[in-house]
Amino acid sequence: DSGVTQTPKHLITATGQRVTLRCSPRSGDLSVYWYQQSLDQGLQFLIQYYNGEERAKGNILERFSAQQFPDLHSELNLSSLELGDSALYFCASSPRGEGTEAFFGQGTRLTVV
Amino acid sequence: DQQVKQNSPSLSVQEGRISILNCDYTNSMFDYFLWYKKYPAEGPTFLISISSIKDKNEDGRFTVFLNKSAKHLSLHIVPSQPGDSAVYFCAASELNNNDMRFGAGTRLTVKP
């Protein structure tokens, strides 16, 4: 158990809909990362928050947004969903966000039908 | 842009032999490198790391080698065990930056 909790574990939704994925980082970790893994591909970095503020942005679509709340949990919002958005979405956390190892949650499997 | 590349999607080795997984990067600002292991239906787990001030880091059966001039790192697993069968991701970051970049992964199969 990495200490990072992601909910829900599975999500099935229709095209055009909007979903919210939730991540609770390890206790004390200030940095939260979101990654997308499609069809056995590599991990694509989406976005990173540090202590409530956006720190780095990767290949995140404009239809996607994220935030980190004062209690440090984070949410990834995906809207106007398309079939190609079906993927595993991982959240990771690290203590200071300074390039040290990140600890991953078990992921949310999103299926868009 | 694929700043971290793992050009071998898969690797198969015999139990007891050495597994060598390779990773190349393009961003010379990267100064911290990590390997993660991922089993099906689980999140990646940290395996071993190396900072750019070193060229080798060893932890039990796992050794990571860094060649900064070639922008190349490799993970050696000796001896390989069937339980090592997983997808291995290489990652890189700048110590004062925060967007860790991952390679596409290499699926290692260790045959008994």
Written as tens digits, the pLDDT of chain B (112 aa) is 678 999 999 999 999 999 999 999 999 999 899 999 999 888 999 999 999 999 999 999 999 999 999 999 999 999 999 999 999 999 998 876 666 788 989 999 999 9
- The per-residue pLDDT for A39 is 73
CA atoms of B61 and A78, how far apart (whole Å): 41
Q: How far is B32 from chain A (nearest CA, A)?
A: 7
- What residues of chain A, 42 to 81, have a C-beta less than 8 Å from chain B? 42-45, 48, 50, 55-58
Does B53 lie at the interface with A, CB-CB under 8 angstroms?
A: no
Do B22 and B10 contact (CB within 8 A), yes or no? no
Do A92 and A73 contact (CB within 8 A), yes or no? no
Q: Is A101 exposed, middle or buried (0-12, 13-18, 19+ CB in 10 A)?
A: buried
Does B93 lie at the interface with A, CB-CB under 8 angstroms?
A: yes
Does A98 lie at the interface with B, CB-CB under 8 angstroms?
A: yes
- The per-residue pLDDT for B63 is 98
Residues of chain A with pLDDT under 50: none
Residue among A41, A90, A100 whose CB faces B43 most closely = A90
- The per-residue pLDDT for A58 is 85
Contacts of A10 in chain B (CB under 8 A): none
CB contacts < 8 A (A, B): 69
| Runs of H (alpha helix) within B1-112 | none
CB contact under 8 A, B34 and A92: no
